[in-house]
Amino acid sequence: MELSRDAIVEGLREILGPGHVVTDEQELRERSIDNFRKLETIFGVWTLPAPAAVARVGSTEEAAAVLAFAAEHGINVVPRTGGTATEGGLETHVPNSIVLDGGRMNEIIDVDPYNMQATAQCGVPLQVLEDRVRELGLTTGHSPQSKPVAHLGGLVATRSIGQFSTLYGGIEDMVVGLEAVFPGGGVTRIKNVPRRAAGPDIRHVVIGNEGALCFITEVTVKLFPYLPENNTFLGWTLGSMKSGFEVLREVMVAGYKPSVARLYDPGDGSIHFSHFAGEDDCVLLFMAEGNAGIARATAEGIAEIVARRPECTPVDSGLIEAWFNDLTWGPDKITREDERIRTTRNVNRTTEISADWSSVHDIYEAAIARIRSEIPDITILGGHSSHSYINGTNMYFNYFYDLVDCGPEEEVTKYYLPIIAVICEETLRCGGSIVHHHGIGKARAPWAKDEYGSSYWMLEALKGAFDPAGIMNKGTIIPA
């Protein structure tokens, strides 16, 4: 029999004690959404059912007990750590859901500079881990713009990526082992080793599961030497995205590994670079880092490649460095942006995809043209590529619109989802992936079948095997 809201709260209090079961109405409303519907928090309008409670677990055992309780009673569970999700993964569409919050699991368990790895609980903010390892002259190499606020559990659950990905990779290249709790309460540990060939690599069932298969409790990531004194910044302006993609491709194919390799179009560039770039200019920028010899050779190699392109005009590297130093988003910047939206009703949104070198420019052009012609009230429209590979790159669309003739609660259906639809359609038409790093959440789940194609059954089989009662984050990745 379905448990009442009060009975769910009572059951959780028995497991965690009353102090760690949140039932405050305002907090529950705020926990019903994430940044996908951030206007609901900014304007105080709520459209989704509030969860029954937030269960603030303090240990793997408590997480296991909550998941056993949820499985026994068929209660939907929405895992949460830093709360910076952008794609609706934290939304509680199912009435009387439990939000399983790992924020109290915030212990750095081990930093091992000899084996170059660190182990931390899911609720450790990445910035805290990074600050700790920097004291030893090391870095995690992971630097998403949400680094000050996102936690390790969520970062692994979403397959996140950082600004230095071209050198260090995405989180999937950094995680060497982990611990997770599955529905029903079973605790699973995948040991820490440099590589394994003992069958399929089951880390990848957990990495990117977005809380739809299990709850990640502990993570071990690689460490690298931190040598900021060798950081070298390079920048150019140029007239077209097409030749910008060509330069990026050439750098990647030549085997250089700058930590940062980015290309901005004039629309997106106007937000960051109007103090040195003209209004029709694209901006191409790189950062080389690491050991002095490697950083020098990387910067010289890139400069040689760009020097063969007369359309590229060099930019003072100090300007690139200054811009780069202000790239992350801490709580103050997020609050200022929310206030800007509240007072101006001008909303900034982003959507990221990936594609091979042959397709990325076509997707970029087609999506930008369609958004411009199909979506009303756009004030800024553009994009950049920020993560490149030998076989392709990502495109991060960045767009602003005014809310016209609609309430903040209608923003998602009037503007945001139609833009996402255009970007997904154009990406799928050209064979790209509709999600490069934010996770599919609930927002892009309607396109999951098209994204996976003939391998979609494998995704459904995973869900059926690991979450047979369907209690884990219903509607996330696999549409409800």
Ligand X SMILES: Cc1cc2nc3c(=O)[nH]c(=O)nc-3n(C[C@H](O)[C@H](O)[C@H](O)COP(=O)(O)OP(=O)(O)OC[C@H]3O[C@@H](n4cnc5c(N)ncnc54)[C@H](O)[C@@H]3O)c2cc1C
User: For binding to ligand X (CB under 6 A), which residues are involved?
Assistant: 34-35, 78-86, 89-90, 102, 122, 144-146, 150-151, 153-155, 157-158, 160-161, 210-211, 215-216, 329, 437-439, 473, 476
- Residue-by-residue DSSP string for 184-197: TS-EEEE---S---
The helix (H) or strand (E) run that includes residue 402 is strand 392-402
Three-state DSSP state, 316: coil
Among residues 34 and 289, whose Cβ is nearest to ligand X?
Answer: 34
Among residues 58 and 236, whose Cβ is nearest to ligand X?
Answer: 58
Alpha-carbon Rg for the chain in angstroms: 22
- Residue-by-residue DSSP string for 468-479: TT--BSTTSSS-
Among residues 12 and 238, whose Cβ is nearest to ligand X?
Answer: 12
Written as one letter, the residue type at 207 is I
Q: Least distance from C-beta 437 to ligand X, angstroms?
A: 4
Torsion (CA) 418, 419, 422, 427 in degrees, nearest 10: -140
Nearest one of 419, 313, 320, 420 to 375, comparing CA atoms = 419
To which residue do tokens 């709360």 refer? 83
Among residues 119 and 146, whose Cβ is nearest to ligand X?
Answer: 146
Q: Least distance from C-beta 295 to ligand X, angstroms?
A: 22
CA atoms of 165 and 385, how far apart (whole Å): 12
Q: What is the largest CA-CA distance in the chain?
A: 72
Q: Least distance from C-beta 81 to ligand X, angstroms?
A: 4
CA atoms of 470 and 480, how far apart (whole Å): 10
Compute the half-sphere exposure of residue 472: CA atoms within 13 Å on the CB side of its CA. Answer: 26
To which residue do tokens 């910008």 refer? 244
DSSP 47: -
Among residues 211 and 392, whose Cβ is nearest to ligand X?
Answer: 211
Q: Least distance from C-beta 180 to ligand X, angstroms?
A: 7
Three-state DSSP state, 15: helix
Among residues 15 and 85, whose Cβ is nearest to ligand X?
Answer: 85
Among residues 158 and 298, whose Cβ is nearest to ligand X?
Answer: 158
Sheet containing strand 108-112, edge to edge, reads 108-112, 117-121, 215-222, 175-181, 187-190
Q: Least distance from C-beta 128 to ligand X, angstroms?
A: 12
Q: Least distance from C-beta 113 to ligand X, angstroms?
A: 25
Among residues 213 and 288, whose Cβ is nearest to ligand X?
Answer: 213
Numbers of helices and strands, H then E, in the chain:
19, 19
Among residues 298 and 476, whose Cβ is nearest to ligand X?
Answer: 476
Residue 406 CB neighbour total at 10 angstroms: 13
Among residues 211 and 408, whose Cβ is nearest to ligand X?
Answer: 211
DSSP 228: G
418: left (phi over 0), alpha (psi -120 to 50) or beta: alpha
Q: Least distance from C-beta 159 to ligand X, angstroms?
A: 8
Nearest residue to the partner ligand X, using Cβ: 154
Q: Least distance from C-beta 90 to ligand X, angstroms?
A: 5
Q: Least distance from C-beta 163 to ligand X, angstroms?
A: 7
To which residue do tokens 């950081």 refer? 231
Q: Least distance from C-beta 79 to ligand X, angstroms?
A: 4
Two structure tokens written together for 335? 């609050």
